[in-house]
C-alpha cells in the first residue's frame, strides 16, 4: 500500500494549474485567504491590491450566500413524511402529530447549529469558494474545520463523485502522542528536527463506506483510524463551479479575473499618476537674492527678503489626461459590482423572511443555478452528518429512513416551513371569505388545523394547546354547572311556596330532601317539636 505522502504528491500534479489560478484570484481580492509560500502568516509579506472592489465583492457575495444557505431564525430543511406510507404503515390521522414531532427535532438541530461555531466556519468556506472555487470542510467531534486548496488534494471518478481525499497540515510533534523515534524524520539529525511535523490524513471510499487514517513520516499514527457511512462522511469537498472531467472547481473571481486585472492596473496608474500630478515644486533663480533656505523655513505670514519674480512653481498639469482611465475604471467597477451583487444592499437591523426569499431569488437569477447546486452539494451532506452526530450522542431521537427523509428547502422554491404556514393560512382565509365563517365550523377540523399551523410555525404545543379530551372535560363541567344553577333557581322558587314550608306542611320535607340530594346540598331538617 502506498503511503499517504506519496499519494498526496502524486495528486498534487493535477491540482497545480487550479492552485496557480487561485493564487492570482486571492492576490486581487483577499490575499490572506491563500498564500504562495508556506511560511507562518506572521512572517509572510503580501501585496495589498490597489483596488478594494474585489475584496468588497467577495465579502458581499459570501454574506448573501450565507444568508441564503443558512438563514437566521429559519430552518433550511424540513423532515417530510413519505406520503406513500400513509394509510399503509402510518394511519392518516397521525400525520399532524408526526409533523409536530418533526418540527421539534428541527428546532433541536437548529439550536445545536446556533450553539456551535458552524456558521463562522461555513462563512470562511464560502469565501474560499468564491475566491478559489474549492474548499474542504471537516465536521469532527470538536467542531468544524476548513481546509484551503493548498492543504488538500481530491480524486473524483468520471461522474464527479469523490473517491479519495488527502490533507496535509502541520501539527506539533509533542501533541501526537507517539514515540520520539516514530515522530522524528529518519533522514535528519536530532538537531535538525523542527517543532511541527507534516501530518497526512488519507480518506478513501470503500464499498462499505468511508475509512480514514493519519500518517507522519510514513508511519501510521495509533488511534487515527476511523470510518463512516457513505452518505455521512465528515469530509465534504466543495466546488463553486463544476466543469465536466475536472477534479476541482472554478471560482466566481476566476470568471471575472480579466476585469479585476484591468481594474487593478488602471487603479495603480491613477493612484501613481494622481500622486505625481499633485506634487508641487518651488524653484528659485540661481542669481536671485531670495535664499532657498529662507523660503523653505519661512512659516505662514513670515517676512523674508527677496523678489517674488525669482520664485517659480513647477506642476505636471496632466489631470485632464486621467479622464479616460477614470471613466474606464468606473465602467469596470460597475460591472464587477453587478457580478458580485454589491448593488441593492439593504441595511436593516433585522432580517425578514421576505428579504431572505428575495436574496435567494437574486442569487438564483444572477448565478445561473449555482446557488441551487451549492445547496445540494453542501447542505445535504452537512445535514446528514449533523443528524448522524446528534443521533449518536442521543441529543435527538433516531428518524426512520424508510418513513422520513430530510428535504432541503433553502432556495427559491421554498423557505423553510414558512411556505406551509402561508399556504395553510391563505386556504383558511379563502374559505372564510368565499363561503362564510359558518363553513369553517362546518367543514374545518379545528384541532387538525391548529396542529398543522403549529408544525408550520415550528412551535411546541405541549401544555399550550388543549387536547380534545381536555376540551370535552371542560365542556362537561360547564354543562354540569349550568344544570346545577338551574336546579338551584328552581329550588329557590319551589321552596318559597307556602305549600313547601316545613313548619306549615310537614309532608313537604321528603320532597325537599330529594331535591337537595340531587343538587348535592344539605337536606332540610324537620322543625323541633
What is the pLDDT, as a whole number, of residue 190?
Answer: 52
Range(s) of the domain holding residue 485: 476-519
The pLDDT score that the predictor gives to residue 413 is 47
Q: Do residues 346 and 489 both lie within one domain?
A: no
Domain check: are 201 and 231 in the same one? Answer: yes
Same domain, 365 and 441: no
Residue partners of 118: CB distance under 8 A and separation at least 6: 143, 144
Task: Report if residue 300 sits inside a domain.
Answer: no
- Can you give the C-alpha Rg of the chain in angstroms? 38
pLDDT at 193: 59
Q: Indicate whether 386 belongs to any domain.
A: yes
Co-location of 348 and 489 in the same domain: no
| Separation in Å, CA 521 to CA 53, 388, 515 | 87, 63, 9
324 and 438 part of one domain: no
Residues 6+ apart with CB under 8 A from 190: 184
* 277 domain-assigned: no
Q: Are residues 355 and 382 in the same domain?
A: yes
* Contact yes or no for 260/28 (Cβ under 8 A): yes
- Specify the pLDDT at position 410: 66
In a domain, 44, yes or no: yes
Shared domain for 342 and 388, answered yes or no, is yes
468-495 vs 509-519: helix crossing angle, rounded to 10: 160
Residue 407 and residue 500 share a domain: no
As a whole number, mean pLDDT of residues 26-45 equals 78
Please indicate, yes or no, whether residues 503 and 379 belong to a single structural domain of this protein: no
Confidence of residue 181 (pLDDT cuts 50, 70, 90): low
The pLDDT confidence band at residue 356, using thresholds 50, 70 and 90, is: low
pLDDT at 529: 46
Q: Is residue 175 part of a domain?
A: yes
CA angle at 107 for the pair 106 and 110, rounded to the nearest 5°: 85
- The answer to whether position 466 is within a domain reads no
The residue out of 399, 416, 433 marking a domain boundary is 416
Q: What is the pTM of this model?
A: 0.75
The pLDDT of residue 311 is 85
Among 118, 148, 143, which Cα is nearest to 15's?
Answer: 148
Cα distance between residue 29 and residue 34, in whole Å: 10
**Per the structure block, which three cell numbers stand in for 147?**
481546509
Please check whether residue 526 lies inside any domain of the structure: no
Residue bearing the bigger pLDDT, 431 or 128: 128
Instruction: Look at the chain and report how many structural domains it folds into.
Output: 3
Is 423 among the domain residues? Answer: yes
Residue 333's pLDDT band, with cuts at 50, 70 and 90, is: very high
Residue among 236, 231, 265, 224 nearest 49 (CA): 265
Q: Are 372 and 364 in contact (CB under 8 A)?
A: yes
Asked whether residue 505 falls in the same domain as residue 398, the answer is no
| Residues 322-344, mean pLDDT to the nearest whole number | 88
If asked whether residues 491 and 367 sit together in one domain, one would say no
Residues 400 and 424 in one domain: no
Distances (CA, A) of 171 to 42, 118, 194, 200, 386: 17, 23, 11, 10, 26
d(CA 425, CA 416): 16
Nearest to 337 by CA among 17, 61, 80, 14: 61
Lowest mean pLDDT among 133-147, 202-216, 277-291: 277-291
Amino acid at each position: 500500500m502506498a503511503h499517504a505522502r506519496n499519494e498526496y504528491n502524486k495528486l498534487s500534479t493535477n491540482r497545480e494549474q487550479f492552485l496557480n489560478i487561485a493564487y492570482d484570484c486571492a492576490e486581487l481580492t483577499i490575499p490572506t485567504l491563500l498564500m504562495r509560500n508556506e511560511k507562518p502568516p506572521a512572517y509572510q509579506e503580501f501585496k495589498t491590491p490597489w483596488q478594494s472592489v474585489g475584496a468588497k465583492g467577495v465579502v458581499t457575495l459570501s454574506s448573501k450566500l450565507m444568508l441564503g444557505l443558512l438563514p437566521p431564525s429559519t430552518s433550511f430543511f424540513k423532515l417530510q413524511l413519505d406520503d406513500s406510507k400513509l394509510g399503509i404503515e402510518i394511519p392518516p390521522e397521525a400525520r399532524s402529530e408526526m409533523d409536530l414531532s418533526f418540527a421539534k427535532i428541527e428546532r433541536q438541530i437548529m439550536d445545536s447549529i446556533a450553539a456551535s461555531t458552524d456558521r463562522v466556519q461555513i462563512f470562511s468556506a464560502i469565501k474560499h469558494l468564491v475566491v478559489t472555487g474549492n474548499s474542504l470542510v471537516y465536521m469532527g467531534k470538536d467542531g468544524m474545520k476548513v481546509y484551503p486548496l493548498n492543504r488538500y488534494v481530491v480524486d473524483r471518478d468520471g461522474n464527479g463523485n469523490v473517491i479519495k481525499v488527502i490533507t496535509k497540515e502541520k501539527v506539533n510533534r509533542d501533541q501526537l502522542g507517539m514515540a520520539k523515534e516514530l515522530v522524528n524524520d529518519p533522514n535528519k539529525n536530532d538537531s535538525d528536527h523542527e517543532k511541527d511535523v507534516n501530518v497526512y490524513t488519507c480518506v478513501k471510499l470503500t464499498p462499505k463506506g468511508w475509512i480514514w487514517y493519519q500518517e507522519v513520516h510514513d508511519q501510521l499514527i495509533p488511534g487515527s483510524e476511523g470510518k463512516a457511512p457513505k452518505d455521512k462522511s465528515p469530509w465534504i469537498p466543495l466546488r463553486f463551479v463544476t466543469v465536466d472531467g475536472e477534479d476541482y472547481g472554478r471560482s466566481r473571481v476566476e470568471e471575472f479575473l480579466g476585469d479585476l486585472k484591468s481594474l487593478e492596473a488602471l487603479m495603480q496608474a491613477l493612484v501613481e499618476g494622481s500622486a505625481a500630478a499633485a506634487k508641487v515644486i518651488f524653484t528659485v533663480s540661481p542669481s536671485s537674492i531670495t535664499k532657498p533656505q529662507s523660503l523653505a523655513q519661512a512659516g505662514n505670514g513670515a517676512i523674508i527678503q527677496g523678489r517674488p519674480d525669482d520664485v517659480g512653481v513647477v506642476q505636471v498639469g496632466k489631470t485632464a489626461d486621467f479622464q479616460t482611465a477614470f471613466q474606464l475604471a468606473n465602467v469596470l467597477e460597475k460591472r464587477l459590482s453587478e457580478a458580485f451583487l454589491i448593488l441593492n444592499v439593504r441595511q436593516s437591523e433585522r432580517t425578514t423572511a421576505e428579504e431572505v426569499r428575495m436574496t435567494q431569488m437574486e442569487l438564483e437569477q444572477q448565478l445561473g443555478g449555482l446557488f441551487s447546486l451549492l445547496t445540494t452539494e453542501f447542505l445535504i451532506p452537512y445535514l446528514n452528518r449533523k443528524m448522524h452526530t446528534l443521533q449518536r450522542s442521543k441529543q435527538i431521537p433516531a428518524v426512520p429512513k424508510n418513513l422520513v427523509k430530510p428535504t432541503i428547502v433553502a432556495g427559491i422554491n421554498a423557505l423553510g416551513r414558512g411556505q406551509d404556514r402561508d399556504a395553510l393560512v391563505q386556504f383558511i382565509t379563502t374559505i372564510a371569505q368565499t363561503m362564510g365563517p359558518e363553513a369553517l365550523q362546518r367543514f374545518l377540523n379545528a384541532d387538525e388545523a391548529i396542529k398543522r399551523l403549529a408544525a408550520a410555525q415550528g412551535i411546541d404545543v405541549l401544555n399550550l394547546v388543549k387536547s380534545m379530551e381536555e376540551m370535552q372535560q371542560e365542556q362537561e363541567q360547564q354543562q354540569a354547572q349550568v344544570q346545577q344553577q338551574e336546579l338551584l333557581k328552581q329550588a329557590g322558587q319551589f321552596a318559597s311556596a307556602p305549600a313547601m314550608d316545613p313548619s306549615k306542611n310537614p309532608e313537604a320535607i321528603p320532597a325537599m330532601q330529594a331535591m337537595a340530594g340531587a343538587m348535592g346540598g344539605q337536606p332540610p331538617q324537620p322543625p323541633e317539636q
